[in-house]
Structure 1
Amino acid sequence: MRAKLPFFQTTILANYIQTGVVVFSLPRLLAENIGTNGWAALLICAAVAAFNIFLISLVYRFGKGKSIFDITKSALPKFIVIPFFCILAAFWAISGCLIGKEFILIITSLSFRSLHPIYLYVMFELLVFLLLSKGIFTISNTAVIAFFILTWNTLLLIYAQSDFDWSRMTSFWFKGVDHTLKGWIQIYSAFLGYELCLLLFPYVDEKSHLMRAFQIANLTTTFFYTLVCLVSFGFFSLHQLQHMKFPVLNLLSYVELPFVKRVDDFVFNITILRVLISNVMFAWASAETIKWILPAAKFRSIPYVFLAFCAAVAFFAIPSTLEKTEPWLLRFGLAETGIAFALPLLLMIILLINKSRGQNYA
């Protein structure tokens, strides 16, 4: 009998799938797209994410824990299913690589300006492949270790209390900018990643409480994002936030500790653990999809070759500057938002069709 993911590890893994390097620029994105008191928009996005996770829980409940591959092939022909999941596999693989690429581009612009990003990118992707080769249980164990290393970072916000001023919030809500759907989705994309729980169905049981774990992770992510952005909006003015590339790093640069000179650099560098887990989980979702598409493949290395190809595409086909990479991240965020809602709805429709036909899942 296959081992199952425990509840505690599933919760932490879910949290690390959702949160990432975007937190360092999130206050700026809120100031640019939402305006005054933009931090409150995170509560709206969190509610939408919670509803989306609820839709996924319906798939899990009515599908009785069957994998999304088994559910899909039960109603759709192979000539539709295979290309569909090939596109999803490529999308997940490139999305994960873009997460890692964004981190590498930021760290080279901050700390290694004379070093070409390709060197750090290759080393980072090697870490991804090494962790990916160990399987989902080792990935979840690594997420737990990373959690205990990184969780204390939030306490650094205490040092901002002396310069925090509630008057900077103003009494106006969501004013000073033009609201667009694209802007709201750009904020919402910070919560994405939870849709990967669709791939975890075969690795959990009732004791794992998969949907509860992801809902708790969503609440934890919301609390973390809201706290960071609330402090940022009270520490800087709206105009300052709109013109800072990474406001959280600017905020941390004011922190002075006797044993660390550059707290912002230190915090950002160890964030590689969080980015690593996010990248690995997207790669894992892609690899699981390829393994299902090619179950009888002679070479087990095919998923890894596919992921290496996608990593090369993410680095060389997409411009390797931070300014030119961000529009691609926005495009993939828009697509991922669509997938996060469309895929559970598609699976629910299939389950309802199967139920009308009298087909039940044992």
Structure 2
Amino acid sequence: MKTTRPVSTLQFTLMVSAFQISVAFLSLPRELARQAGTDGWIAIFFGWGMATLASVVLVKVMKNSPNGSILELIQRFMGVWASKIAAVIFIAYYLPLAYDGFMIASLVMKLWLLPSTYIYVLVLLLLIPTYQIAQHGFQAIGRYCEIVTLISIWIPFVYLSTLRHAHWLYLLPVLKEGWLPVLSTVKIMFFPMVGIGLVFFIYPHLVNKEKALKAMVISNTLTCLVYLGITLVCFVYFSPDEIGEFNDPVISIMKSIELQFIERVEVPFIAFYLFVFSCVWIPSMHLVSMNSAWLLGRGGERGSLVVWCFAIAVSFFIYKPSFIDAARVNNFLNLTGFVMEFALPLCLLLYVAIAKKVRGGRRS
């Protein structure tokens, strides 16, 4: 693979972190509270640990294919048909991720901003800039993530302003029901940490491949700091009995903020958060088109992207999803995310190590 559009370490770090934050930022505090109460924030540290260990495995796998994606690595060690099957599997994984992103974004927009607008119209409006960015590859997506990060720096300070209404006693006592509820909540952290699998396809484009692991550790740390911050803010603002009742506590908390020049603070917040949320479906759509082009032969990524964008628009026109459907898709992605980004890398690393040892023995 010729790296005609290299990706810097900063772009790679922000791509992974933005991907992770966008998938679960709105729902994570609610899900943690429902499973482990106000002790749910402890599970975030376990999520960071699992993602970091998986990142080590991912980078070790890709070191065996420094100039090619995971598909070329699989083709080299398992054959052409195995790489074709892998491409289908990756399409089946990243397409629901993109669909879930469009679904939640359109539902939130319809609920809070544009209640009279059809969901398929909102999705169509989101697909236009998605195509414009995704067609230019990872370098353009990386630059987009840099811009999104810059224009989103103000959001954490807005949440810090809500701490004047905080009730810190809601967090006490720590581990009020022991470790069992916290440990049982760790499984929820698989979906919020998906995104580390991007290294499968971005690694050959990296300018400094030796810094890939460091970049992934930094991105996982940034993600967990964001998750920890917003979770604690929600936990000390809402009572333990009511936080699980809010569908979007991250947005609902904005109602406590009063500014003289803005009547509803949540409106510009949602508008800005759409940029953050797009960091999950834009790279996902690019990866879907990339794997589709691999199935059909070299090239043709833009054509595949057009087809998939059209398919998503039609799907939302035919079927109108709800928040219940979004929850079901999230549960599905939590399981598939564990398989694709935590279990699969370990299996590939073991297979490659055994294959290299066997081939080395044959040479001798």
Q: Is the 8 A contact 1:21 1:103 kept in 2?
A: no
TM-score, structure 2 length as denominator? 0.90
Q: Partners of 1:174 and 1:316 in 2: how far apart?
A: 47
Equivalence for 1:257: 259
Q: Partners of 1:188 and 1:338 in 2: how far apart?
A: 10
Q: 1:199 aligns with which of 201, 207, 230?
A: 201
Displacement after TM superposition at 1:277 (Å): 1.9
Q: Partners of 2:319 and 2:340 in 1: how far apart?
A: 22
Structure 1 stretch displaced more, 263-272 or 172-181: 172-181
Equivalence for 1:352: 353
Displacement after TM superposition at 1:267 (Å): 0.8
Q: Partners of 1:158 and 1:164 in 2: how far apart?
A: 10
CA spacing shift, 1:182–1:172, aligned 2, 3 Å: closer
Q: Is the 8 A contact 1:46 1:222 kept in 2?
A: yes
Displacement after TM superposition at 1:237 (Å): 1.1
Q: Partners of 1:346 and 1:182 in 2: how far apart?
A: 24
Q: Is the 8 A contact 2:94 2:284 kept in 1?
A: yes
Structure 1 stretch displaced more, 214-223 or 201-210: 201-210
Q: Is the 8 A contact 1:93 1:310 kept in 2?
A: no
**What is the 5 A alignment of 1:211-250?**
211-250=213-252
**What is the 5 A alignment of 1:7-22?**
7-20=9-22, 22=24
Q: 1:143 aligns with which of 145, 158, 161?
A: 145
Q: Is the 8 A contact 1:18 1:221 kept in 2?
A: yes
Q: Is the 8 A contact 1:22 1:190 kept in 2?
A: yes
Query: Match of 1:36, SS?
Result: helix
Q: Cα deviations across residues 13-57 of structure 1 (Å, max 9, x unaligned)? A: 221111115212221111101223211211111111111111112
Equivalence for 1:340: 341
Q: Is the 8 A contact 1:96 1:282 kept in 2?
A: yes
Q: Partners of 1:27 and 1:326 in 2: how far apart?
A: 14
Q: Is the 8 A contact 1:146 1:273 kept in 2?
A: yes
CA spacing shift, 1:195–1:310, aligned 2, 3 Å: farther
Q: Is the 8 A contact 1:96 1:280 kept in 2?
A: yes
Q: Is the 8 A contact 1:36 1:175 kept in 2?
A: no
Equivalence for 2:100: 98
Determine if the alignment matches structure 1 residue 75 to structure 2 residue 95.
no
Equivalence for 1:23: 25
CA spacing shift, 1:350–1:70, aligned 2, 3 Å: farther
CA spacing shift, 1:279–1:182, aligned 2, 3 Å: farther
Query: Match of 1:173, SS?
Result: coil
CA spacing shift, 1:276–1:34, aligned 2, 3 Å: same
Displacement after TM superposition at 1:284 (Å): 1.5
Q: Partners of 1:265 and 1:24 in 2: how far apart?
A: 15
Equivalence for 1:123: 125
Equivalence for 2:290: 288
Q: Is the 8 A contact 2:32 2:40 kept in 1?
A: yes
Q: Partners of 2:8 and 2:306 in 1: how far apart?
A: 31
Q: Partners of 1:318 and 1:51 in 2: how far apart?
A: 39
Structure 1 stretch displaced more, 112-121 or 66-75: 66-75
**What is the 5 A alignment of 1:164-183?**
164-173=166-175, 175=177, 179=181
CA spacing shift, 1:158–1:180, aligned 2, 3 Å: closer
Q: Partners of 2:326 and 2:179 in 1: how far apart?
A: 24
**Fraction of identical pairs, as percent:** 20
CA spacing shift, 1:321–1:177, aligned 2, 3 Å: farther
**What is the 5 A alignment of 1:297-308?**
301-308=302-309
Q: Is the 8 A contact 2:11 2:143 kept in 1?
A: yes
**What is the 5 A alignment of 1:43-82?**
43-64=45-66, 66-82=68-84
Q: Partners of 2:331 and 2:314 in 1: how far apart?
A: 17
Q: Is the 8 A contact 2:30 2:243 kept in 1?
A: yes
Equivalence for 2:273: 271
| CA-atom RMSD in angstroms | 2.6
Q: Partners of 1:211 and 1:354 in 2: how far apart?
A: 24
Equivalence for 1:321: 322
Q: Partners of 2:109 and 2:53 in 1: how far apart?
A: 35
Displacement after TM superposition at 1:158 (Å): 2.4
Tell me, which stretches of 5 or more residues in structure 1 are unaligned?
Answer: none
Q: Is the 8 A contact 2:38 2:170 kept in 1?
A: no
* AA of the residue aligned to 2:232: L
Structure 1 stretch displaced more, 168-177 or 247-256: 168-177
Displacement after TM superposition at 1:208 (Å): 7.0
Q: Partners of 2:324 and 2:351 in 1: how far apart?
A: 41
Tell me, which stretches of 5 or more residues in structure 2 are unaligned?
Answer: none
* AA of the residue aligned to 2:199: C
CA spacing shift, 1:193–1:300, aligned 2, 3 Å: closer
Determine if the alignment matches structure 1 residue 41 to structure 2 residue 43.
yes
Displacement after TM superposition at 1:176 (Å): 9.9
Q: Partners of 1:201 and 1:319 in 2: how far apart?
A: 37
Q: Cα deviations across residues 78-137 of structure 1 (Å, max 9, x unaligned)? A: 333312321321321231121121111111012222221110011111221111112221
Displacement after TM superposition at 1:139 (Å): 1.3
* AA of the residue aligned to 1:243: E
Equivalence for 1:160: 162
Equivalence for 1:190: 192
